[in-house]
């Protein structure tokens, strides 16, 4: 089974490997239901989705009648204004057939101008706080992509006491000195405030090139089990971090298998060798 850990201050003991439900964005209900069985097999008890992930929320909805108590359920809104974000939350509740979300997150809040709107008067954050006060959601988080994600999350935590953050982290990004420094500053802040820190892009191999896109991910993922093991074990060796899984149901079982066998980290020399042998390249420049 996969290791579990307190998900920040939420009181939930989450599997350190969280199901990234972007993988359900463009699959049939039959394929989604088979994925649910895989999650249950590995004991995954936390789902992270978003309003913008295609049909993902609709695919999760049929699961909830029998499995709502089995999962910490998180989604996201990409809207920046109060009314749009409020409407988004209600649509997510309807699509997933639940009366309450465990976590609602401001999705990809990294643009400074969008940040000012979302965090300002009549901004999206007001709608999230109102939803929490009304009992529609329990906790509030913020997510981001790109090389400024950690810096923007630090700024967000200075403005509001978010319960969770989510951003990219993998071995390749750890070799970017500026990003690594800001990530570790954020990590220290999260630890001090007991804020759950979720990571994405652990399985990044490189951006898609001219080859045929055979996966649902918007980057080319690692696919060889040994490489997946190294990437997953390197990430999980960082105390307190959560790994949100790859956005492709075909690769997902390999990630969960790697996580279920995690015992220790990976030597830097092995990670460097994988970078070269797998021809890995940065996604964010």
Per-residue pLDDT reduced to its tens digit, 47-73: 999 999 999 999 999 999 999 999 999
**Banded model confidence at residue 211, pLDDT cuts 50, 70, 90:** confident
For 84-134, write each residue's pLDDT tens digit.
999 999 999 999 999 999 999 999 999 999 999 999 999 999 999 999 999
Per-residue model confidence (pLDDT) at position 210: 80
The 3-state DSSP class for residue 72 equals strand
Per-residue model confidence (pLDDT) at position 192: 98
Contact assessment for residue 159 and residue 126, using Cβ atoms and an 8 Å cutoff: no
Contact assessment for residue 170 and residue 110, using Cβ atoms and an 8 Å cutoff: no
The DSSP code for 171 is H
| Fold (topology level) of 4-277 | TIM Barrel (3.20.20)
Per-residue model confidence (pLDDT) at position 20: 98
Contact assessment for residue 284 and residue 145, using Cβ atoms and an 8 Å cutoff: yes
**Banded model confidence at residue 1, pLDDT cuts 50, 70, 90:** confident
Query: Could you state, in order of their start, the residue ranges of all structural domains in the chain?
Result: 4-277
For 157-201, write each residue's pLDDT tens digit.
999 999 999 999 999 999 999 999 999 999 999 999 999 999 999
User: How far apart are alpha carbons 147 and 178 in whole angstroms?
Assistant: 9
Element (H, E) at 40: helix 29-42
- Average confidence (pLDDT) over 220-247: 97
CA distances from 93 to 31, 194, 200, 202, 268 (A): 22, 27, 24, 29, 44
CA 200 remoteness from chain centre? 5
Per-residue model confidence (pLDDT) at position 167: 98
The DSSP code for 134 is T
Per-residue model confidence (pLDDT) at position 77: 98
Say whether pTM exceeds 0.85.
yes
Instruction: Tell me phi and psi for residue 47, to 5 degrees.
Output: -115, 130
Sequence-distant (≥ 6) Cβ neighbours of residue 281 within 8 angstroms: 172, 205, 206, 207
**Banded model confidence at residue 228, pLDDT cuts 50, 70, 90:** very high
Instruction: Give the residue from 146, 218, 220 showing the smallest Cα distance to 183.
Output: 146
Per-residue model confidence (pLDDT) at position 212: 80
């Amino acid at each position: 089974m996969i290791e579990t850990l307190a998900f920040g201050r939420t009181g939930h003991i989450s599997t350190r490997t969280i199901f990234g439900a972007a993988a359900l964005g463009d699959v049939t209900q039959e394929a989604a239901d088979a994925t649910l069985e895989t999650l249950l097999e590995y004991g995954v008890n936390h789902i992270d989705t978003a309003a913008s992930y295609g049909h993902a929320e609709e695919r999760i909805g049929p699961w909830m009648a029998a499995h709502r108590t089995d999962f910490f359920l998180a989604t996201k809104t990409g809207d920046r204004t109060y009314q749009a974000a409020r409407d988004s939350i209600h649509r997510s509740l309807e699509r997933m057939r639940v009366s309450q979300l465990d976590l609602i997150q401001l999705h990809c809040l990294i643009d400074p101008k969008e940040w000012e709107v979302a965090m300002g008067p009549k901004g999206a954050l007001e709608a999230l706080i109102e939803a929490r006060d009304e009992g529609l959601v329990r906790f509030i988080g913020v997510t981001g992509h790109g090389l400024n994600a950690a810096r923007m999350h630090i700024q967000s935590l200075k403005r509001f006491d978010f319960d969770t953050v989510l951003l990219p982290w993998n071995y390749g990004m750890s070799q970017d000195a500026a990003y690594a420094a800001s990530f570790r500053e954020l990590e220290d802040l999260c630890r001090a405030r007991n804020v759950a820190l979720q990571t994405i892009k652990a399985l990044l191999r490189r951006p898609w090139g001219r080859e045929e896109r055979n996966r649902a991910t918007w980057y080319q993922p690692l696919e060889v089990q040994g490489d997946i093991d190294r990437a997953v074990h390197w990430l999980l060796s960082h105390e307190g971090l959560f790994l949100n899984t790859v956005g492709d149901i075909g690769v997902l079982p390999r990630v969960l298998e790697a996580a279920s066998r995690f015992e220790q980290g990976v030597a830097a020399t092995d990670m460097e060798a994988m970078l070269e042998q797998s021809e890995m390249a940065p996604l964010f420049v």
